[in-house]
Amino acid sequence: MPTPWPRSNSQPKVLPPRPLRLLGGAVIAMAVALLVVLVLWSIASAAYGQPETAAPLPDVAHLLRMSAIQAALSTVLSLLVGTALAWSLNRLRFAGRNLVIALFASAIVTPGLIVAFGLLTVWGRSGWINAIANVLFHTSIDTPIFGLGGILAAHVILDAAFAARILLARLDAIPSTRLKTGQGLALTPAKRFATIDWPALRGTMPGLAAIIFLLAFTSFPIVLLLGGGPANQTLEVAIYSAVRLDFNLHGAVILALAQIGFCSIIILAASAFAPIPSTLGPSAGQRWADRGFAKAVQWTVLLACIIGFALPLLAVLAGGFSSNLPALFARPSFPSALATSLAIGTLSALLTLVLALGLGSARAATLRPLARIGLAAPAYAYLAVPAVVLALGFFLLVRTMGIEPATAGPAVVILGNALLSLPFAIATLGPPLEAVASGQGKLIRSLGLSGWQQFVRVEWPLLGREIGVVLALAFCFSLGDLGVISFFGTQDFSTLPLLLVRALGAYRTDDAAIVAAVMLVITVAAFTALPQFFARWSDAQA
């Protein structure tokens, strides 16, 4: 489709030479790839010393097919809803907009279990919707919240909101000159979306689709809680039962390899897809609202999404305000778990940022497709490696090195969480780093900036917000982690999610609801504060 303005990537690309960045990125990529290999090797070698078990392997082909259908549906729905929501949020301005955006953004990192319970509070048999229906119509609505419907609903809440947050950032970054040109040409809302918005979104789509597909493919607590039973299963669930229940390490390795193999195809396809760099620019101030029918559609989308997405999370918050609140806060375990969670989250967020910047800037510094795949694929592999396999592998590795698991606990939890957030960090930082390299590469070259100067003078001022988003993402992922810590937690080393599970396991549903609400408040606060703080900080230094 011809565009009325020159596209930056239509010119031959001239990238400044960045050998150090390439080297750093290569080292990180190799290290994270080596870790995957080590993890699998340590499980395989433990399996070698184990007698063959009689426990039959589940039907892998069937599991792959079921998981793939569910994941494909989740991806398509999430991208559709996410695009519509990003489009609406980009056009509309209203009081509390930032809070709404943060709430949507926080969905992705909210522990699946909390979302599932929030969903039930609203849509369940005894949920709010049915309570209203009972009062108004004296009848209950049979909502298909268990089974495939429930799984898809929960995935769309988690993933569409995440997609919307990423896509909104791309829309907000469209330079005002383009908007002015578009306004001057009096583009209709549809034409405007096709010629201005879509090119800005396109580059992000393959990576985003791959991430959502893999998230849904490897989904675990949601599938177990809302799936309604063994009819709806994922490969990840089969791996969990092989590792934790049947103690069939042979089977676990085979299933994990099947999952990693299948997911790798998706990852390679996505990372080979050369992303179209989106242009960067200050987004402050400029806006161009649609009118009439389009505006009505935008409001409808927004309201539907608030009811659909925000209500379940609000239900979690509402559930936390109970009379047990002071008593729980007074327990010594609560402040200690809170402090541990905050410390682990902060450190693992910083580690994620360093790794993602290293990989992302190296990737942006080369045009060779093979190098680009090699730099991104290992990080994306952590979307495919089941958390239970990662945790078990780390556990065995630490023991092989002669370290007590309890001693290594904090370090391993920080590292494990950072690795699991890395794909999201790369997806967030990658496109803007590429945009800087291809859009400003010529300028950087002609000014003769060094790699460090390029970061301080060009990238940092432009990427402040994205850096804040990455930190918030990684922090919140780590805050909600249950997979890694389940192997390493002790009585002296526990986090908020462990506290939540302990309360649930001891009939204390009220206490669990409070912990869930506290985690959600921290998540939303991190998502509101961090991107804004870093955007301001980097702006101030620009």
Partner 1 sequence: MHFIARLALAVVIGLAAHPAAAADKPSLTIYTYDGFAGEYGPGPGLKAGFEAQCGCTVNFVGTDSSIGALRRVQLEGATTSADIVLGLDTSIAGEARATGLFAPHGLALTGLSLPVKWTDPEFVPFDYGYFAFVYDKTKVANPPKSFEELIAKPTTFKIAIEDPRSDTPGLGLLLWIRAAYGDKAPEIWKGLKPHIVTMARSWDDAYGLFLKGEADMALSYTTSPAYHAITDKTDKYASARFDEGHYAQIEVAGMLKSSKHQDLAKQFLGYLTSVPAQKIIPTTNWMYPVVDLGADLPAEFNALPKPAKLLSLDEKTITANKDKWIADALAAIQ
Interaction site with partner 1 (CB under 8 A): 46, 54-56, 113, 117, 120-121, 124-126, 146, 221, 224-231, 240-241, 243-247, 331, 333, 339, 342-344, 346-347, 350, 395-396, 399, 404, 406-407, 410-411, 414, 486-487, 489-493, 498, 501-509, 512
Taking the complex as a whole, the smallest distance from the CB of residue 162 to partner 1 amounts, in Å, to: 24
What is the DSSP code string of 472-507? HHHHHHHHH--TTHHHH--SSS--HHHHHHHHHHTT
Nearer to partner 1, 80 or 506 (CB): 506
Q: Token pair of 468, please? A: 């804040």
Taking the complex as a whole, the smallest distance from the CB of residue 231 to partner 1 amounts, in Å, to: 5
Other CB atoms within a 10 A radius of the CB of residue 188 amount to 11
Nearer to partner 1, 309 or 488 (CB): 488
Taking the complex as a whole, the smallest distance from the CB of residue 518 to partner 1 amounts, in Å, to: 16
Taking the complex as a whole, the smallest distance from the CB of residue 410 to partner 1 amounts, in Å, to: 5
Half-sphere exposure of 297 (CA within 13 A, CB side): 13
Q: Which CA distances in Å does 36 have to 146, 323, 389, 481?
A: 34, 46, 10, 19
CA–CA gap between residue 491 and residue 514 (Å, rounded): 20
Tally: H helices and E strands in the chain:
25, 0
CA–CA gap between residue 21 and residue 43 (Å, rounded): 33
Non-local (6+) Cβ contacts of 31 within 8 A are none
Nearer to partner 1, 254 or 297 (CB): 254
Taking the complex as a whole, the smallest distance from the CB of residue 455 to partner 1 amounts, in Å, to: 17
Nearer to partner 1, 201 or 414 (CB): 414
Per the CB < 8 A criterion, the answer to whether 313 and 520 are in contact is yes
Nearest by Cα to 488 from 418, 409, 433, 435:
409
Nearer to partner 1, 79 or 503 (CB): 503
CA–CA gap between residue 346 and residue 340 (Å, rounded): 10
Taking the complex as a whole, the smallest distance from the CB of residue 319 to partner 1 amounts, in Å, to: 10
Match 């609140």 to its residue by tokens: 325
Half-sphere exposure of 306 (CA within 13 A, CB side): 12
Match 């795949």 to its residue by tokens: 373
Nearer to partner 1, 411 or 449 (CB): 411
Report DSSP state, residue 139: S
Q: Which CA distances in Å does 399 have to 396, 406, 418, 489, 502?
A: 5, 10, 21, 15, 26
Non-local (6+) Cβ contacts of 330 within 8 A are none
Nearer to partner 1, 417 or 440 (CB): 417
Taking the complex as a whole, the smallest distance from the CB of residue 158 to partner 1 amounts, in Å, to: 18
Taking the complex as a whole, the smallest distance from the CB of residue 412 to partner 1 amounts, in Å, to: 11
Nearer to partner 1, 442 or 502 (CB): 502
Nearer to partner 1, 167 or 252 (CB): 252
Match 């959600």 to its residue by tokens: 520
Nearer to partner 1, 151 or 362 (CB): 151
What is the DSSP code string of 431-445? HHHHHHHHHHHHHHH
Q: Token pair of 271, please? A: 């990372």
Taking the complex as a whole, the smallest distance from the CB of residue 56 to partner 1 amounts, in Å, to: 7
Taking the complex as a whole, the smallest distance from the CB of residue 169 to partner 1 amounts, in Å, to: 25
Q: Token pair of 142, please? A: 């049979």
